[in-house]
Amino acid sequence: MVDHQLLHLVVKAIDDKRAEQIVALNMKGLSLIADYFVICHGNSEKQVQAIAHELKKAAQEKGIEIQRLEGYDQARWVLIDLGDVVVHVFHKDERLYYNLEKLWGDAPVIEVEGVLG
């Protein structure tokens, strides 16, 4: 699957479960981990789990291997590694605390509306 198709699948799946403040960062040249980080949050543990579950389901339906899924049971920070795209689904309190957007402040932000459109 081409990067932009995978990014579209990710953003659509998490948007379908009303993920808040979705941010996509272009990590090419900045991180060896992935080409893109997608960061979002839910307002409760149940919503965080619903977002992660929807993304897992969407990936499996397209035959995309989930390389790692961590933090689902606690639902405070769920990491979903899809290879070229790593998704961080935070509980809103943890998102403020870890502030990954600031940590990776030099990464170009991708307009999510453009990905969904």
Distance CA 96, CA 63 (A): 33
Provide the pLDDT for residue 27: 94
Q: Tell me the C-alpha distance between 43 and 55, whole Å.
A: 17
Q: What is the pTM of this model?
A: 0.93
Give the residue, 5 or 78, on which the prediction is more confident: 78
Check residue 108 and report its DSSP letter: P
Q: What pLDDT does residue 117 have?
A: 65
Nearby residues of 86 by Cβ (< 8 Å), 6 or more positions away: 33, 34, 36, 37, 38, 79, 80
Kindly report the average pLDDT of the chain as a whole number.
92
- What architecture does CATH give domain 3-116? 2-Layer Sandwich (3.30)
Q: Of 1, 43, 4, 48, whose CA–CA distance to 26 is shortest?
A: 4
Mean pLDDT of 55-81: 96
E strands within the chain? 20-26, 36-42, 68-70, 77-81, 85-91, 109-110
105 falls in which pLDDT band (50, 70, 90)?
confident
Tens digits of per-residue pLDDT, 1-54?
Answer: 567 789 999 999 999 999 999 999 999 989 888 999 999 999 999 999 999 999
Three-state DSSP at 29 gives: coil
